[in-house]
């Protein structure tokens, strides 16, 4: 990838537009079922345990602009992403034209990277050690695939129990790793201790979902995906149906894509894990693939990606 242009200059240009500030969209939604789904440093917008810094927002803006420049995102999809994401809640409303102009005035629109048609990151499966530890298990797979075996924050050897503690994802305290607050990304950041950092985003379209995935996989950063199953969505990876009237939020690790982002590759902490999950989960696989279009249907608001 070419050296990344710092886009915070362009963000400062948007602040003079005088347009209405978007309302914050932090959700108090809590995952509910037998499988529970959920900081950055420096100035920026604080949402739960995360602060969306200019550096993180630059990374998102760069990904969206790259997809738009490559013709993978339409202008309408790009604008929808800017209008609906809480990442921009404290910034006057941005438009695609303003974003492009801001980049040009900051030194020119960077040529988008050429993503390969398919790419996967080597990942060793980790089955969750109890029914509420899908978040720490998915996080452990992500961190170990990046060669990280010790927490930068506590210097502890990384285990699911360490990632579940109050210095990381707070899973033990909360009885799960819910999407909101963003404890999953905050835990990854605490363990990594370096940039680029993770945050929580909910893609506004299938195209933006594919672009987020390709951008991170290109940089050898697996993603976390918080997917929700309910009576309307059905189930994926041969999961058992949730109990009547219930919904299930569940963390899986996203380690690759194929067909130019049309198909995504996942590792499921509940898969191949009957000893912990029970016989109802006997058909769930450790690794599985799903189209981006189908994946998007399980990103029931406000669920999404740790990107």
Instruction: Assess if residue 123 is contained within a domain.
Output: yes
Q: Calculate mean pLDDT across residues 92-107.
A: 75
Q: Is residue 175 part of a domain?
A: yes
Domain assignment present for residue 85? The answer is: no
Residue 285's pLDDT is: 98
Name which of 85-94, 126-135, 147-156 the model is least confident about. Answer: 85-94
Domain that holds residue 272: 119-306
Report which of residues 92 and 12 the model is more confident about. Answer: 92
Residue 225 lies in a domain: yes
Q: Does residue 112 or residue 307 have the better pLDDT? A: 307
* pTM for the predicted model, two decimal places: 0.85
Top-confidence residue, 39 or 304: 304
Give φ, ψ of 234 to 5 degrees. 75, -165
Read off the pLDDT of residues 146-200 as tens digits, 9 standing for 90 and up: 999 999 999 999 999 999 999 999 999 999 998 988 999 999 999 999 988 999 9
In a domain, 7, yes or no: no
Tell whether 99 is covered by a domain.
no
CATH of the domain at 212: 3.90.70.30
Task: Examine residue 90 and state whether it is found in any structural domain, yes or no.
Answer: no
Q: What does the pLDDT average to over 53-63?
A: 82
How many distinct structural domains can be found in the chain? 1
Tell me, yes or no, whether 105 lies in a domain. no
């Amino acid at each position: 990838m070419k050296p990344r242009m710092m886009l915070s200059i362009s963000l400062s240009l948007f602040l003079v537009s005088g347009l209405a500030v978007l309302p914050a969209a932090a959700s108090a939604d809590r995952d509910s079922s037998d499988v529970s789904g959920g900081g950055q440093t420096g100035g920026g917008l604080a949402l739960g345990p995360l602060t969306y810094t200019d550096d993180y927002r630059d990374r998102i803006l760069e990904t969206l602009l790259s997809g738009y420049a490559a013709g993978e995102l339409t202008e309408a999809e790009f604008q929808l992403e800017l209008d609906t994401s809480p990442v921009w809640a404290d910034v006057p409303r941005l438009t695609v034209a303003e974003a492009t102009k801001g980049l040009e005035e900051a030194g020119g629109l960077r040529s988008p990277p050429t993503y390969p048609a398919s790419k996967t990151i080597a990942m060793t499966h980790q089955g969750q050690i109890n029914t509420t530890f899908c978040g720490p298990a998915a996080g452990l797979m992500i961190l170990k695939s990046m060669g990280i075996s010790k927490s930068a924050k506590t210097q502890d050897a990384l285990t699911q129990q360490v990632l579940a503690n109050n210095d990381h994802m707070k899973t033990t305290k909360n009885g799960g790793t819910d999407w909101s607050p963003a404890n999953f990304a905050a835990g990854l950041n605490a363990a990594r201790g370096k940039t680029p950092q993770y945050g929580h985003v909910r893609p506004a379209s299938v195209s933006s979902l594919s672009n987020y995935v390709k951008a991170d996989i290109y940089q050898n950063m697996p993603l976390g995906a918080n997917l929700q199953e309910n009576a309307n969505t059905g189930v994926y990876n041969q999961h058992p149906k949730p109990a009547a009237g219930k919904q299930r939020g569940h963390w899986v690790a996203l380690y690759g894509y194929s067909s130019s982002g049309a198909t995504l590759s996942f590792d499921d902490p509940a898969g191949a894990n009957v000893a912990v999950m029970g016989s109802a989960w006997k058909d769930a696989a450790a690794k599985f693939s799903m189209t981006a279009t189908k994946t998007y249907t399980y990103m029931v608001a406000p669920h999404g990606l740790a990107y």
